[in-house]
Structures are given as C-alpha cells and as structure tokens.
Amino acid sequence: MQGFDRRDGRIAPALAMDGTRDGTEGSPSAGSAAAHDPHGPRGAVFSGPPNALTRSAKAVEGVLAAVVEIPAALLVAAEIVILFAGVMSRYVFHAPLIWSDELASILFLWLAMLGAAVAFRRGEHMRMNVVAGMVGPEARAFLEVSAVVAGLAFCTLLLPHALDYAQEEAFIRTPALDLQNAWRAAALFTGLSLMAAFAVLKLVQIGRPLLVLKALAVAGLIIAGFWLLGPALKGLGNYNLVIFFVGVVAFCVLAGVPIAFAFGLATFGYLALTTRTPMLTMVGRLDEGMSHLILLAVPLFVFLGQLIEMTGMAKAMVAFLASLLGHVRGGLHYVLLGAMYLVSGISGAKAADMAAVAPVLFPEMKARGAKEGDLVALLSATGAQTETIPPSIVLITIGSVTGVSIAALFAGGLLPAVVLGAALCFVVWRRYRHEDLSHAARASWGEIGRAFLISLPAIALPFVIRAAVIEGVATATEVSTIGIAYSALVGLLFYRRFDWRRLKPMLVDTASLSGAILLIIGTATAMAWGLTQSGFSRSLAETMTHLPGGAFTFMAVSVVAFIVLGSLLEGIPAIVLFGPLLFPIARAVGVHEVHYAMVVILAMGIGLFAPPFGVGYYAACAIGRVDPVAGMRPILAYLVALFAGLVIVAAVPWLSTGFL
C-alpha cells in the first residue's frame, strides 16, 4: 500500500491491511519494516522543492498533529482505565459503576474520530495501490494527490450535516451522567474538520500547484457531472446500486482512494442524488457503526499486541518453541506456525502478530538455509490460518454487526485454525524433509525447561483472557483490559522490560490504527443501510435461499465470494457490508451461524493474504523485508493447503461448534 509519510509528505511505502506502515518510525512494526525510500517506489518524487508556504504548512501541521495526537493517546489510556475500573468494581468489590459504560461510549466516538484524523495525517487509512504500482511516476503522483482530494471532498460534503446532527443530539440527554448527547456527537464534526484541515495542509505541502489544481479540477468535474445527472439517476431505480456501490466504489478503490472514503463518497452520492433521505441519516448510520461499545475491543487489543512485544513476552514464547523444535527438519517453520497461533490469541491484529514473530525467527531460519521467499510465503499463510483465533478483530466485528455471541465465536475459532495449521505443517514437512541440520544443536532438557519457565507467564496470557470471558469475570470488550494489566505486571516484575518512553507512541499508533478501522466500519454501515433500504437485501436473501443444492451450494458460493471480497476489500469492510445480509440466510438454510462465521473468516483470510491483490501478503513482505516477487511461487502450495483445510472446516461443522 502507499501512504503519505508523516515527515515530508512524499510517497512512502505503507501497509493497508491494518494501518501499520512499513517505512515510518513509530509504527507498530517499525523495527522490522522495510527501509524508508524518501522518493517513494521506483524513485517517484512526490513533492516539489520546499518554499516558505510549504514550510509554513508543515509547521502548522506539526502543531495541529500534537494537538490531536496527545488527546487521542489520552483517550486510549482513559478507556483502559475506565473499563478496568468497571471490571474491578463489579467483580471484586461487587459495586458496579453504573456510569462506566456510558462514559466509555462517549469517549469511544472521540477516540475513533481523533484516531481517524491521526491516521489521515500519517497516511495510514487502508487502501489499495494496484493501479498506482503499475503506472509511471507522474501518474502515480496524480493518484496520490487525488486520494487526498477524495478525502477532502468526503469530509467537506459531510461537515454541514455532521454539525446539524450534533445540534439535533443536543435535545437528548444521557441516562447515567445526564449530559447533552451533543458532547458525544460533536466528535463526528470535529474529526471531519480535522481531516479536512490535514488534507488542505497536505495539498499545500506538496509544492506543486498545477498538480493539485489538476486533481481538484478532476474531482470537481466528477462531482458536478453526477450532480447534473441527478434527475436522470432518480429514474434508474436499483440500477443506481450498481452505479454507486459497484462502479463508484471500484473506481475509487482502484484509484488508491482509502476504502473508508470510497465507501463514504459512494453512499453520500447514492443517498443525495437518488433518494429523498436526509443526510442526517447518513451521519447517524456513521455514528451507529463506529460507536458500538463492543468495538472498544479493537483499540484495546491492538494496544495489548504492542504491549506484549514491548515487554518481551512474544520473544519468550518464540524462544521456548524454538528450543523444542529447533533441531527438527523444518523445525523453525513449525515454530513460526506455533508462535503465530499463540500470539494471534493475544493481539488480535495480524500486522502486530507478524511483527512480533518474524524479526525473532527469520535471521536464524535464513542462517539454516531457508529461502526468504518461502519464509514470507509461510508468514503470509499463517496470517490467513490464524484469522479465527480469538480475540481476532474480525471475530469481534462479526459479533457486533450480526448479533452472534462473541463468546461463542471465541470458542469456535480455535479448532478451525488447528485444521489449517495441520495442512500447512504437511507442506512444511514435504519441503524440508531433507533439510541439512548438521549445524543445528539440539537443546538439552535443562535448556528447554528454563525456556519454558521463562515463557510460562507469556504462554498463560491467552488462557487468562479466555478464562476471564468464560467465567464471567469480564465481557469480550472488557477482557482486553485484564490482558493489558496482566502484561504490564509481567513486563515490570518478571521480564523487567518496560520502556516507558514507548508508551506514548504506542498509544498514538493504537488510536491511529483504531480510527482507520472504525471509520471503515462506520462508512460500511452507512452503505449497508443504503443497500437494505433499497430492497437489495431482500432480493439477495430470496436468491441465495433458493439456490439449487441448499446449504451446500450456499456455502460454496459464500467461500468463493469471500475469497474475492477478502482480496479486494479486506475482512472488516466485507463483513460489515455483507454480514448482516448473509448470516440470516445461513440460518434460514440450516447453517449454524458460528460455523458459517468460521468459514467466511477463513475464506476472507485466504483472499487477504493471497497475491497479487491480497494486501496482507504485502504486509508480510514489508515486515520480513522481502521482495514480494520472491514469495509468489512458494506461497502457491501454502494457499492450496489453506484451501484444503477450509474445505474440511466447511464440510465438518463440529470443528466450529463442538465446544459450544
């Protein structure tokens, strides 16, 4: 993915799978990321020579960034404290804080919008750069500027309606704290205003007025053209769904516009030009999608993933597994599989998982003769394999938009990942059954025992998290705070590794990544509402329900569809858009909703990590510092194994529902 480097406004390599970038200090995976190229890919120069105006814009942006980032970081910390206090007061002192969830909900929308503004400024909104990577430097620069202009257009179009929405919410008071709901709703107007301001500052910093004017002119002509065609569009009925939700979205996504803004612009255009729906409704749906309290687990688990890396817990787990299997043919590859399984059960974010494991294992694996293409291929494959391991952010998203029990999803996600892991182990065995291990020393039982004792507190964390949910100590949203408190204590008292200087960057990175994810969920919720109101969901339900072959055909079509959706849209937006439509159909044709969720998630994971379109694959390449071309051929066997495992999971519902 491409993104704007936070330092100088030029094109810089970036990841879009979950917002982390591969060439900017301060990102969650900075330590293992690819080196920053100040002129972007293929030597394309994005910005012109600096002048007084661009320097002034850069200075203003720096001040505004500090004004936004500090509150965003404090909001993440505040949410952790509030939810943990709620758990302690309810479970330990038996005196629930009746206002804790309400305050957390108010602050959460502010966290989401300020985080989205931080992500916009740092170029961390999820996007696809397939076309940008195929064109020349000047065309690529135009696409980059156009992406900023698209973000500016979305924010500008929605700003007046966000202000109206905040004013309307002033008439509503919160039940516990007795506050005007405008205090909460104002976050939408503030976040959109900040993103618009950052967009203007970015355009000024480019220092190429003609390029900016060209992008603005093209955007203006497109908007004006749609506006003039408004009367004609009204007569097209549901054909407008194809025009806006397929045509406009595809055009924007392929042009490199961040997915959130592509969804937002398409939905705004559809509602404004083809319906009589007031735009306040769109803002309301945006609010609804972003502020579901269960989604608070997203920033908290993202922060937890960074915390286990900082405290050395991830490294300890990997060291123990390496001591067990390091002397076996292909042993470190099995260690990579096991480590990703364990770490995924803690962080919930794939980039954090890969960034925690790859830097520890890759150097030794290369020293043993492993080819870097095979390493990054296996790393990508494990990313797809572990998508169902709790507390996966995709699991949490499914629960929030479909009403499926998150505790049930957490219980159902473990065995499907084991099945796909076994399929990957078979490929590893086939490839490395003749590996030369003459230089690999076998760890003694004493060394294994010491490694186990050192790793024990880290290995216990996934079980602590799972037990807290099952025993009713905390909800799926709150349990992350228990994990954070546990990890902080283990880092301080056991591993004696806790870098206080990294806390602020970690909190800001958490806010940025969370804002990028939540803005997609918000705009996708608005789009899904538009699809529902058009009658599309009813037509889709009728078609899918009456497919020949019943549940078998429905499952097969879903697998193919979500592999494609996973490669094009990534998991979260695909789930938010189609989950509310397809899960009721799955129930109607007799497919258990947890079983369907596992199949859908694994299918999307394969699409997400499969080249050439799967952005997760490029995330793995960036973290491993490997040329993407090197992994294209080795990953084919892993993808076949993953698909075989997916077929087994789809055919045997017990693997998903046996522990419910």
Quick: pLDDT tens for 531-582: 777 877 677 777 777 778 778 888 998 898 888 877 766 667 778 777 888 8
- Checking if the pLDDT of 518 tops 80, the result is yes
The reported pLDDT for the residue numbered 82 is 93
Mean pLDDT computed over 595-601: 93
* Residue where a domain stops, chosen among 455, 475, 499: 499
Rounded Cα–Cα distance for residues 86 and 615 (Å): 38
Same domain? For 639 and 570 the reply is yes
Query: What's the distance, CA 13 to chain centroid?
Result: 17
Judge if 176 and 243 occupy the same domain: yes
- Is 27 part of any domain? no
Please check whether residue 423 lies inside any domain of the structure. yes
Reduced 3-state DSSP string for 171-215: CCECCCCCCECHHHHHHHHHHHHHHHHHHHHHHHHHCCHHHHHHH
Average per-residue pLDDT for the chain: 82
User: pLDDT for 29-60, tens place per residue?
Assistant: 333 333 333 233 333 445 667 788 888 999 99
**Higher-confidence residue: 259 or 188?**
188
Q: Residue 466 has what pLDDT?
A: 72
Task: Tell me the residue range of the domain where 379 lies.
Answer: 294-499
Taking the C-alpha atoms of residue 535 and residue 4, their distance in angstroms, rounded to an integer, is: 39
User: CA-to-CA distance for 336 and 313, rounded, in angstroms?
Assistant: 15
Question: Would residue 156 count as lying in a domain?
Answer: yes
Strand positions, DSSP E, 215-263: none
Give the other-Cβ count within 10 Å of 538's Cβ: 11
* 279 and 359 within one domain: no
- 648 within some domain: yes
Residue bearing the bigger pLDDT, 298 or 598: 598
Single residue among 233, 262, 293 that ends a domain in this structure: 293
Same domain, 381 and 277: no
Residue 627 burial (CB count, 10 A): 13
Q: Say what percent of the chain tops pLDDT 70.
A: 88
Please compute the mean of the pLDDT values over residues 271-289 and round it to a whole number. 90
How far is 565 from 18, CA to CA, in rounded Å? 16
Residue 440's pLDDT band, with cuts at 50, 70 and 90, is: low
In a shared domain, residues 325 and 262? no
Pair (303, 162) in one structural domain: no
The answer to whether residues 406 and 306 belong to one domain is: yes
169 and 82 inside one domain: yes
Alpha carbons 533 and 540: distance in angstroms, whole number: 13
**521 within a domain of the structure (yes/no):** no
Separation CA 320–CA 419 (nearest Å): 23
Nearest CA-CA partner of 573 in 509, 526, 513:
526
| 287 and 298 co-located in one domain | no
Instruction: Say what the pLDDT of residue 29 is.
Output: 34
Q: Of 40-44, 72-76, 218-222, 462-466, which gets the smallest average pLDDT? A: 40-44
Q: Which comes out higher in pLDDT, residue 127 or 21?
A: 127
Amino acid at 405: S
Higher pLDDT: 654 or 406? It is: 654
pLDDT of residue 363 exceeding 50, the answer is: yes
Into how many domains does the chain fold?
3
| Nearest partner of 222 among 154, 165, 164, 319, judged by Cα | 154
CA distance linking residue 23 with residue 241, whole number of Å: 38
The answer to whether residues 287 and 350 belong to one domain is: no
Tell me, yes or no, whether 361 and 277 share the same domain. Answer: no
Q: What integer pLDDT is reported at residue 18 of this predicted model?
A: 35
Residue range 594-623: mean pLDDT, rounded:
83
Domain membership flag for residue 628:
yes
Q: How confident is the model at residue 73 (pLDDT cuts 50, 70, 90)?
A: very high
Identify the domain boundary among 273, 293, 313: 293
142 domain-assigned: yes
Q: Is residue 512 part of a domain?
A: no
Q: Count the alpha carbons within 13 Å of 340 in the hemisphere toward its beta carbon.
A: 29
Same domain, 545 and 475: no
DSSP state of 443: P
Our measurement of the distance from residue 140's CA atom to the centroid of its chain's CA atoms, rounded to an integer in Å, reads 25
Whether the full predicted model's pTM is greater than 0.85, yes or no, is no
Report the pLDDT value the prediction gives residue 11, as an integer from 0 to 100. Answer: 28
pLDDT, one tens digit per residue, over 283-339 is 999 998 888 777 787 788 778 878 888 888 878 877 887 788 777 777 778 888 887
